[in-house]
Amino acid sequence: MLDLQRTLNQVKSDADWVSLRQVTEKTTHRRVRDEKIDGNSVYFDQGVMVEVLVNGHFGFAGTSDLTESGIKRALGKAVAMARSGSSQKVHNFTTAQRPQAKGIYSSPVIRPIDSLSAKEITDIFVDATKAMKVSDKIISRSAGTMIVETSFHVVNSSGSEVQQNFSIVSTDFSATSGGPGETQTRSDNGGLARCFQVGAEVFDRADILSRSKRIAEESLELLSADNCPDEAMDLLLAPDQMTLQVHESIGHPLEYDRILGDERNYAGWSFVKPEDFGNLQYGSKLMNVTFDPTIADAMASYAFDDSGLKATKEFLIKDGVLVRGLGGLESQARLNLPGVANFRSSSWNRAPIDRMANINLEPGTTKFQDMIASIERGVFMMANKSWSIDDYRNKFQFGCEYAKLIENGKITKTLKNPNYRGTTVKFWNGLKAVSENRETYGSPFCGKGEPNQVIRVGHTTPYCLFSNVEVFGA
Amino acid sequence: MNFTEITKKSFNTVADYILGNLQAGEEANVNLHAEESVFIRFNGNKVRQNTTVEQRTLSLLLQKDGKTASFSFSITGDETEDKKRADQWLAEARKECALLPEDPYQVPLKNNGVSDSTFKGALLSEESVVAAITAPAAGVDLAGLYCAGPLISANKNSKGQSHWFATENFFMDYSLYLGEKAVKSVYAGTHWNQKEFEANLAQSKNQLSLMDRPKKTLAPGAYRTYLAPGAVAEMASMFSWGALSFSAYKQGNSALQKLADKEKSLSSLFSVRENFAMGLTHRFNGLGELAPETLNVIQKGQLQSFMTSTRSAKEYSVEANGADGGEYPRAMEILPGSLKEQDILKELGTGLYLSNLHYLNWSDRMNARITGMTRYACFWVENGEIVAPIADLRFDESLYDCLGENLLAVTDFQAVDPMVSTYESRAFGGKKVPGMLIKDFKFTL
């Protein structure tokens, strides 16, 4: 076991500042299909990122060699990186971008994840796929989980010591039914959307079997459903689709590194300009969006980001007006704008960049049934299955698994292949009702960065009603 | 010893140690992915971040009593430490096998032979990269990623199989900007040649000068469209997303189900094959099985072969064809046609010239319909002359239309689209694709 503080004390460097970030992560995948084992794997990853400040530029070197000589070699490389980069550095950084931090964070776990054996989880999944066998038309039934136990331990030459331990479970259940010339898949709120900081309590057998049966029945129901109509009408989105809507059309465009152009060659730029903060009417007055790393079981709750900045809840959009963006201390210095604690890396082998965390829509005051009653003609869509948005985060098109037609204030029938498209600011300004209740979902796989990184994100959102949206079917 | 030499010694030692310590009734497959990488990220022709990474990941697949357990862990190059880790994870794999039910589609391990390839490159020294890129790009708004270093994949199993593939390669994946207008390029290979890079950059600068005109905003509708190889490569990547997987087909999730069932067809101008002779990646897969050097996947619009792994082959009683577990093409080539480069604009006449596409996704998987955006150098062309760059457009189009009866011509040249993915680790491989002329390509927003 590497003693990080002792190692930091022993390595010598002429850098202005040195940090060691050790990441230890165990990822377990378990999958069952049609009541049979379909894969079990464990990936244990550990390494250290050495980070230094030289001539106003941060240099990074990651290594999986955790011996003292391995860390020393990485330190030498980090200094060389910083020195060579500093000749053409994008900004003159200081240790102000790496504040001293001390603290411990742990996911709120009720039952430790290792209290359930591989066999017990597999048995639940076998029964879940059995519960999906509601008809001969169900052609594929699957149940899976990804369990991540990870710790980030940081020490640095300004006296910081932060230990953050995460227990993260994502589950994925789906049933596919087949009829003449088509198949329809229904999942459990979207692929891996049910991902939380939890323990073994998430594997509640009775609840899983009940959900599994329901999605199989809904998959079957879709086979005989009408196609979503092609017209402009009211659109009611469930929280499991709002998650994607918030992520793509609010989270990403507000990231400061996109606004600064760092991401232009890969994930893209942003339609948001620095002068828009405090001025842009992003959405209707019902729209209140927060960066909130304090939601107990949400995917991206934490105490500090990788720079050592303490994570606190902040409003990004208040009463529809854009007030703050998603940028850590480096981007804040480059833009001279306030930001949030979101400078995060995917693991020990990547440098931190501006990432989303939990980006949430605050609740409204409307009861769900009153939203339905207010709709003369509209579609209620649930669970994301297709997502695409341009590199400025303007023109989007999203598809869902399952929908209901609403006519004269009542749900009248099920619709299949529901999709909708729009442009970000116009769409959010059409927000006309927000429910008082919220649900939390997320994603383990938000991709971005050069070199590429996936990061975990959480989104807690209400049901939302939008006016005059272009919806269409297959 | 350099990274590759240390890693080879280390892999052989640990893999042989694991395989030599198997108990009666146990079989094992051991994989290695290793890299020593330099990543330098540029924005505004300045250095945003630079990182080196040294990582070696060993994956152990243990088969015992019809059960399968898979464990991956990092190794360091230090023999004592690596053997300790191997002992720990082999013990965990045994425990897992004892707990799990039988794996009904377990693939019996075989000896698929021995291979040993090491390709040495000529890469820039770490300290010279910044000047080599920023000096010729002076005065230009350049953003992108330089990535280089040794990259290794290796495999051994308890039946005596042994494969080693090591290369030293690089890519400079970049874009140049004129305000919000941009062009895109990749310079990639195994031997950095400063003159070649500067020529690549000069070509991009020339293309950028074509963008220096007011943007034309087009109404949604169907347009005659030329997809340059960069755009075709983006569309071809969708074939790796559940379209050509045999297991996805059997489970109702293949976007090419109607092609396989002969309810739909593609144009006779459209042919796809796996072609490992391109030399973009190694032929052995995660189980050390050798894919055929070439495999016809779609020939003249008709599906010939799904990508089929040995696991799927066992489950569905069909023949495997060297596909990896994910059943996606690893060395995809779309075959060329007869449209000459100098005739592209003339044959396009009036319509859209699209250099790149962005953020594609299935919008209607059963009908192979894809949505996505135009990106980078995309132009409105009138009577064979470039008129103006366009404001980005969203398309929503079925492959059965654009690669079916609406596919008018395929270029007689192809371009290599090197794999630049670096999620968790650097990827091998790439694609080779031509350009395509399409009528009535549908834009919706």
pLDDT at B226 over 90: yes
Strand partners, A144: A31, A172
Are residues A184 and A248 both part of a single domain?
A: no
Backbone angles phi and psi of B256, in degrees to 5: -105, 25
pLDDT at A11 over 90: no
**Which of A82, A265, A390 minimises the CB distance to B359?**
A390
pLDDT, average across residues B231-248: 96
Contacts of B147 in chain A (CB under 8 A): 451
Q: Does B217 touch chain A (CB under 8 A)?
A: no
- What tokens were used for A375? 């709709």
pLDDT at A321 over 80: yes
Residues B444 and A472 sit within 8 Å (Cβ to Cβ): no
The sign of the torsion formed by the CA atoms of A262, A264, A266, A269 equals positive
pLDDT value, residue A163: 98
Q: Where are the beta strands (DSSP E) in A34-101?
A: 36-54, 57-63
Q: What is the CATH number of the domain that holds A25?
A: 3.30.2290.10
DSSP line for A302-365: -SB-TT-PBP--EEEEETTEE---B--HHHHHHHT----S-EE-SSTTS--EE---BEEEPP-S
Backbone angles phi and psi of A198, in degrees to 5: -150, -175
Are residues A200 and A255 both part of a single domain?
A: no
Q: Which helix (H) or strand (E) holds B287?
A: none
Can you tell me the distance from the alpha carbon of B68 to that of A33, in angstroms, rounded to the nearest whole number? Answer: 15
State pLDDT tens for residues B166-193.
999 999 999 999 999 999 999 999 999 9
Can you tell me the distance from the alpha carbon of A361 to that of A438, in angstroms, rounded to the nearest whole number? Answer: 9
Residues A79 and A54 sit within 8 Å (Cβ to Cβ): yes
A353-354 and B221-227 strand pairing: unpaired
Q: Does B127 touch chain A (CB under 8 A)?
A: yes
Can you tell me the distance from the alpha carbon of A415 to that of A223, in angstroms, rounded to the nearest whole number? Answer: 10
Are residues A214 and A241 both part of a single domain?
A: no
- What tokens were used for B318? 């069909």
Contacts of B45 in chain A (CB under 8 A): 88
Residue where a domain stops, chosen among A199, A224, A249? A224
pLDDT value, residue A60: 98
Closest CA to A340 of A356, A351, A352: A356
Secondary structure of B171-187 in HEC code, one letter for each residue: EEEEEEEECCEEEEEEE
Cis geometry, peptide bond prior to residue A112 (ω within 30 degrees of 0) = no
Residue type, A58: F
Closest CA to B307 of B289, B293, B327, B292: B327
Strand partners, A57: A54
Strand partners, B371: B361, B396
User: Which residues does A447 contact at the CB level (< 8 Å), separation at least 6?
Assistant: A267, A453, A454, B423
pLDDT value, residue A409: 98
Residues B183 and B211 sit within 8 Å (Cβ to Cβ): yes
> What's the whole-number average pLDDT of chain A?
97
The reported pTM is: 0.97
Closest CA to A239 of A419, A10, A458, A17: A458
User: Which residues does B254 contact at the CB level (< 8 Å), separation at least 6?
Assistant: B242, B243, B244, B245, B248, B260, B306
Are residues A244 and A313 both part of a single domain?
A: yes
State pLDDT tens for residues A324-353.
999 999 999 999 999 999 999 999 999 999
DSSP line for A176-204: EEEETTEEEEEESSSTT-EEEE--GGG--
pLDDT band per the 50, 70, 90 thresholds, residue A287: very high
Closest CA to B430 of B197, B240, B149: B240
**Crossing angle (nearest 10°) for helices B3-20 and B79-99:** 40
Residues in chain A: 474
Q: Does B288 touch chain A (CB under 8 A)?
A: no
CA torsion A385-A389-A394-A399 (nearest 10°) is -20
pLDDT at B211 over 80: yes
How many A/B residue pairs have CB atoms within 8 Å?
Answer: 252
- What is the least distance, in Å, from the CA of B235 to any CA of chain A? 14
Residue where a domain stops, chosen among A189, A205, A224? A224
Q: Does B70 touch chain A (CB under 8 A)?
A: yes
Q: Does B50 touch chain A (CB under 8 A)?
A: yes
Contacts of A448 in chain B (CB under 8 A): none
Strand partners, A426: none
Backbone angles phi and psi of B233, in degrees to 5: -60, -40
Domains of chain B: residue spans and CATH:
3-206 (3.30.2290.10), 213-443 (no CATH)
Cα distances (Å, whole numbers) of residue A377 to A137, A366, A407? 32, 18, 5
Are residues A235 and A217 both part of a single domain?
A: no
pLDDT at A1 over 80: no
Contact between chains at B72 and A43 (C-beta distance less than 8 A): yes
Contact between chains at A45 and B52 (C-beta distance less than 8 A): no
pLDDT at A425 over 80: yes
Residue type, B375: R
DSSP line for B9-46: HHHHHHHHHHHHTPPTTEEEEEEEEEEEEEEEEEETTE
pLDDT value, residue B125: 96
- Cβ neighbours around A104 below 10 Å, total: 11
Are residues A182 and A143 both part of a single domain?
A: yes
Backbone angles phi and psi of B214, in degrees to 5: -60, 145
- What tokens were used for A151? 């710790």
pLDDT value, residue A386: 97
Residues A204 and A173 sit within 8 Å (Cβ to Cβ): no
DSSP summary character for residue B216:
B
Residues B150 and B167 sit within 8 Å (Cβ to Cβ): yes
Contacts of A351 in chain B (CB under 8 A): 49, 51
pLDDT, average across residues B410-424: 97
Residue where a domain stops, chosen among A190, A224, A258? A224
Are residues A250 and A202 both part of a single domain?
A: no
Which residue's structure tokens are 């969708």? B238
Contacts of B130 in chain A (CB under 8 A): 84-85, 87-88
Q: Which helix (H) or strand (E) holds B222?
A: strand B221-227
Can you tell me the distance from the alpha carbon of A305 to that of B341, in angstroms, rounded to the nearest whole number? Answer: 51
pLDDT value, residue A402: 98
pLDDT value, residue A181: 87
Which string of b and e fits B152-168 if b means at least 16 CB within 10 Å? bbbbbbbeebbbbbbbb
Can you tell me the distance from the alpha carbon of A147 to that of B58, in angstroms, rounded to the nearest whole number? Answer: 20
Residues B51 and A350 sit within 8 Å (Cβ to Cβ): yes
pLDDT value, residue A179: 85
State pLDDT tens for residues A143-182.
999 999 999 999 999 999 999 999 999 999 999 999 888 9
Are residues A55 and A199 both part of a single domain?
A: yes
pLDDT value, residue A14: 86
State pLDDT tens for residues A386-420.
999 999 999 999 999 999 999 999 999 999 999 99
Are residues A321 and A309 both part of a single domain?
A: yes
State pLDDT tens for residues B45-102.
999 999 999 999 999 999 999 999 999 999 998 899 999 999 999 999 999 999 999 9
Can you tell me the distance from the alpha carbon of A468 to that of A325, in angstroms, rounded to the nearest whole number? Answer: 28
Closest CA to B29 of B100, B106, B84: B106
> What's the whole-number average pLDDT of chain B?
97
Strand partners, B119: B167
Can you tell me the distance from the alpha carbon of B313 to that of B324, in angstroms, rounded to the nearest whole number? Answer: 12
Can you tell me the distance from the alpha carbon of B349 to that of B359, in angstroms, rounded to the nearest whole number? Answer: 27
The sign of the torsion formed by the CA atoms of B3, B9, B11, B14 equals negative
- What tokens were used for B203? 């070509």
Closest CA to B341 of B234, B205, B202, B435: B435
Are residues A194 and A241 both part of a single domain?
A: no
Contact between chains at B130 and A88 (C-beta distance less than 8 A): yes
3-state SS, residue B230: helix
DSSP line for B50-116: EEEEEEEEEEEEEEETTEEEEEEEE--S-HHHHHHHHHHHHHHHHHHHHHSPP-TTPPPP----EEE
Are residues A372 and A456 both part of a single domain?
A: yes
State pLDDT tens for residues B140-161.
999 999 999 999 999 999 999 9
State pLDDT tens for residues B292-317.
999 999 999 999 999 999 999 999 99
Note which residues in 163-182 of chain A have CB less than 8 A from chain B. 176-178, 181-182
pLDDT at B357 over 80: yes
Strand partners, B173: B145, B186
pLDDT band per the 50, 70, 90 thresholds, residue A2: confident
Can you tell me the distance from the alpha carbon of A331 to that of A300, in angstroms, rounded to the nearest whole number? Answer: 20
Contact between chains at B37 and A40 (C-beta distance less than 8 A): no
Backbone angles phi and psi of A275, in degrees to 5: -75, -10
Which chain B residue shows the shortest CA-CA distance from A183?
Answer: B252
Can you tell me the distance from the alpha carbon of A131 to that of B315, in angstroms, rounded to the nearest whole number? Answer: 22
Q: Does B47 touch chain A (CB under 8 A)?
A: yes
Percent of chain A scoring above 70 in pLDDT: 100
Residues B109, B111, B112, CA angle at the centre, nearest 5°? 105
Residues in chain B: 445
State pLDDT tens for residues B361-411.
999 999 999 999 999 999 999 999 999 999 999 999 999 999 999 999 999
Which residue's structure tokens are 């579609």? A379
Domain count, chain A: 2
Closest CA to A309 of A119, A450, A103, A168: A103
Half-sphere exposure for B234 (CA within 13 Å, toward CB):
20
Contact between chains at B96 and A118 (C-beta distance less than 8 A): yes
pLDDT band per the 50, 70, 90 thresholds, residue A13: confident
Are residues A204 and A84 both part of a single domain?
A: yes
Segments forming the whole domain that contains residue A262: 227-473
